[in-house]
Amino acid sequence: MRKYLCIYKSEVMSNMQYVLNIIISMITYIVLIFILFNLWNYIYQDENQIINGYTKNQMIWYVIITEIIWSATAGRKLCQKICDDVRGGNIAYAMNKPYSYISYILFSHLGETTIKSIVGTIIGMFLGILFLGEFPNISVQGVIIVIISSILAVIINTLLITSIGLFSFFIEDAHPIYWLYSKIILILGTMFPIEFFYGILGRVISFSPIYVTCYGPAKLFVDFSYKNAICILMAQIIYLFIAWAICYALYRKGVKKLNVNGG
Amino acid sequence: MKVIAVKNLNKRFKVKVKEKGLKGSLKSIFKPKIQVVEAVKDISFEVEEGEVIAFIGPNGAGKSTTIKMLTGILYPDEGSINVLEINPTKQRKKLAYEIGTVFGQKEQLWMHLTVYDNFKFFGAIYDISEKETEKRIEELIELFDLQNIINTPVRNLSLGQRIRCEIAASLIHRPKILFLDEPTIGLDPVVKESIRKLIKKMNKEYHTTVFLTSHDISDIEKLCKRVIIINNGRIVMDDSMSNLKYHYMDKKVIQVKLRNKVDFSNVKGIKVLKEKENNYQIEIDTKETDLTKILKLINPENIVDINISNIPLEEIISQIYRKE
């Protein structure tokens, strides 16, 4: 485990060189929150109106949390890195080191995510207080559980995106799959909570990765209950194992097909 | 003691083939053609502990594919590989603790970390204790003369300094075999020389077996006692450096400036390489004629200037490639 913590630490140290870049990259995040704030302000004509179980403030805080998780995960960059590693042959140089490539990717990506999450959380909380003037009604224990759930969400998301990246072993380019995944997450989980979708679609989403990667932590933040917390954390643990198993299976099958460019 | 044993190794790649033009592109979508390329064909060799061996060949000969199979990155189609009594295909991670790799064209160091932090990172990767890592870093600083750059971020190093650090980092776990894939590529002659000295020193001090590939013949000439030449996936020569030179030393090159012209056209064993006014560059095959005869033909009193040399090793190796 020491080696993986060292990978994590090295990535954090490396990313500290780019704090200013990370802050600048958050401009998109700020603009998006501002647009969504105005959109929900328009939809909710009355402060006390409830739509699908959410007040206006809960809705906006929901979007702030899901956006923090999604932008901190930086999935496109991760998918790009794995695709490049596989297609360009760089994976070969990670393979002859005594660590697991999947764990290496996970811990190094978490290192990158850490700084982004901290910056994103500070900006998100500031925007929330600025626009809404109040914090959701949540206890300190609740906040700790939300943080744990958010970390699990980022880990699961990282593993799922890693799986998509590993498809490069079998197809020329895994980006179209990532594009599809990111758009589904954006529409069905980041911008709208599951309760906004009825019938079969709602049920499918509640069993999909959307439930554990964005809906779960955000729902707990805006409407905390221990019953929900247990459900969401259990689902996240199950998904963590599933995502890990998918990554591992794809990697094991993929390396046997590896055809490193230039030999 | 044998540290590498390779027997009847084969590796094939499947490569997509596309006919030219738009029609070809469309055709390849519906009826893709796959061509099988035999990258490595039935090669066998052994390497003794402490050897510095050159594994050379032209581009696409199968060198890197072989190295990648030896380090467990690629899976062979047939044949057996034994590196330090480990099967790289089945126990890649175990083997990783025993070998070091430096690929001249790829960086393994973290660009934004200092050289020291990189060494600490590699220490942790190879499960070396903090105290032991510190001790080894001190050793490497001294051996590779890194005092002035140890706290510099890697991105600020020159190419030569970076390669020096790459080699040093690959030695932190004291590997028994070091695979060097073109370690001096892109370096200037002075830095190349210092890298060669380091490799020699490392081989002497740690008794590390070195498996080297390079297109730079000077690397091979100055470092290796044994050469394996691979071409089109097959081993075409496996011999000592001295034998290689000895077998081809029957050819000499004479550069001579004469007072009067001499006709070399009908002399057996002579090939005129260049001729300009009274200056000649000729190649002599000493198996067919000897130097005394040539000197008599030229007439010593006719000579203004003369230089007799062996064929450069580079030329010898090119000849071997061409024969194949």
Q: Do B62 and A98 touch (CB under 8 A)?
A: no
pLDDT of residue A94 exceeding 90, the answer is no
Mean of the per-residue pLDDT values of chain A: 88
- Report residue B323's pLDDT band, with 50, 70 and 90 as the boundaries: low
| Residue B174 and residue B241 share a domain | yes
Distance from CA of A224 to the nearest CA of B (A): 41
Per the listing, tokens 């370096």 go with: B187
* Contact A256/B at CB under 8 A: yes
Name the H helices within chain B.
21-30, 63-70, 92-96, 115-125, 130-144, 159-169, 189-206, 217-223, 241-248, 291-298, 313-323
Distance CA A64, CA A126 (A): 10
- Report residue B226's pLDDT band, with 50, 70 and 90 as the boundaries: very high
Q: What is the pLDDT of residue B52?
A: 92
Where a domain ends, among B229, B245, B261? B245
pLDDT of residue B175 exceeding 60, the answer is yes
How would you write B54-108 as a 3-class SS string? EEECCCCCCHHHHHHHHCCCCCCCEEEEEECCECCCCCHHHHHCCEEEEECCCCC
Q: Do A17 and B39 touch (CB under 8 A)?
A: no
Task: For chain A, give every domain's residue range.
Answer: 2-255
Q: Which chain A positions have a beta carbon within 8 Å of B124's beta carbon?
A: 2-3, 5-6
Q: What is the pLDDT of residue A45?
A: 79
| Residue B235 and residue B261 share a domain | no
pLDDT of residue A263 exceeding 70, the answer is no
- Report residue A259's pLDDT band, with 50, 70 and 90 as the boundaries: low
Flag whether B94 is in a domain.
yes
Q: Do A258 and B67 touch (CB under 8 A)?
A: no
pLDDT of residue B285 exceeding 70, the answer is yes
| Residue B81 and residue B8 share a domain | yes
Q: Give residue B216's Cα distance to chain centre.
A: 7
Mean of the per-residue pLDDT values of chain B: 86
The A residues from 11 to 70 touching B (CB cutoff 8 Å) are: 13-14, 17
Give the chain B residue nearest A16 (alpha carbons): B112
- Report residue B6's pLDDT band, with 50, 70 and 90 as the boundaries: very high
- Report residue A260's pLDDT band, with 50, 70 and 90 as the boundaries: low
Tell me the mean pLDDT in the region B1-15.
Answer: 89
Tell me the mean pLDDT in the region B272-284.
Answer: 87
| Residue B176 and residue B104 share a domain | yes
Flag whether B148 is in a domain.
no
Given a contact cutoff of 8 angstroms between Cβ atoms, the answer to whether B55 and B4 are in contact is: no
A26-77 pLDDT, tens digit each:
788 888 888 888 888 888 877 778 888 888 889 999 999 998 898 888 788 8
Given a contact cutoff of 8 angstroms between Cβ atoms, the answer to whether B65 and B39 are in contact is: yes
Among A5, A90, A95, A96, pick the best mutation site for testing chain B contact (most B Cβ within 10 A).
A96
Q: What is the pLDDT of residue B158?
A: 87
Q: Which two tokens stand for residue A69?
A: 């998780």
**Which of A3, A258, A263 is the closest to B125 by Cβ?**
A3
Domain coverage including residue B319: 250-323
Amino acid at A64: I
Q: Do A263 and B65 touch (CB under 8 A)?
A: yes
pLDDT of residue A107 exceeding 90, the answer is yes
Q: In this structure, how many other beta carbons lie within 10 angstroms of the beta carbon of residue A3?
A: 21
Flag whether B122 is in a domain.
no
A202-225 pLDDT, tens digit each:
888 888 889 999 899 999 999 999
Q: Which of A95, A256, A102, A105 is nearest to B101 (CA)?
A: A95
Q: Do A97 and B97 touch (CB under 8 A)?
A: no
**Which of A93, A95, A259 is the closest to B92 by Cβ?**
A95
Q: Do A10 and B14 touch (CB under 8 A)?
A: no
Flag whether B146 is in a domain.
no
Instruction: Give phi and psi for A174, each to the nearest 5.
Output: -90, 0
Query: What strand order describes the sheet that includes B270-276?
Result: B270-276, B279-285, B251-258, B303-310
pLDDT of residue B324 exceeding 60, the answer is no
Q: What is the pLDDT of residue A87?
A: 81
Flag whether B157 is in a domain.
no
pLDDT of residue B61 exceeding 60, the answer is yes
* Contact A93/B at CB under 8 A: yes
Q: Give residue A97's Cα distance to chain centre.
A: 28
pLDDT of residue B248 exceeding 80, the answer is no
| Residue B301 and residue B185 share a domain | no
- Report residue A103's pLDDT band, with 50, 70 and 90 as the boundaries: very high
Q: Which two tokens stand for residue B74?
A: 């690629």
Q: Cα(first)–Cα(last) distance of chain B, in Å?
A: 32
Flag whether B24 is in a domain.
no
How many structural domains does chain B have? Answer: 2
Q: Which chain A positions have a beta carbon within 8 Å of B93's beta carbon?
A: 98-99
Given a contact cutoff of 8 angstroms between Cβ atoms, the answer to whether B262 and B230 are in contact is: no
Where a domain ends, among B245, B270, B298? B245
Q: What is the pLDDT of residue A218?
A: 93
Q: Do A97 and B125 touch (CB under 8 A)?
A: yes
For residue B217, what is the domain's CATH number? 3.40.50.300
Q: Which two tokens stand for residue B7?
A: 């027997």
**Which of A14, A98, A260 is the closest to B113 by Cβ?**
A14
Q: Which chain A positions have a beta carbon within 8 Å of B101's beta carbon?
A: 93, 96
Flag whether B218 is in a domain.
yes
Q: Which chain A positions have a beta carbon within 8 Å of B37's beta carbon?
A: none
| Residue B177 and residue B88 share a domain | yes
Where a domain ends, among B211, B245, B279? B245
Distance from CA of B164 to the nearest CA of A (A): 18
For residue B289, what is the domain's CATH number? 3.30.70
Q: What is the pLDDT of residue B10?
A: 93
pLDDT of residue A234 exceeding 90, the answer is yes
Q: Which chain B positions have a beta carbon within 8 Å of A263's beta carbon?
A: 39, 62-65, 67-68
Q: What is the pLDDT of residue A202?
A: 85
Instruction: Give phi and psi for B229, each to the nearest 5.
Output: -105, 130
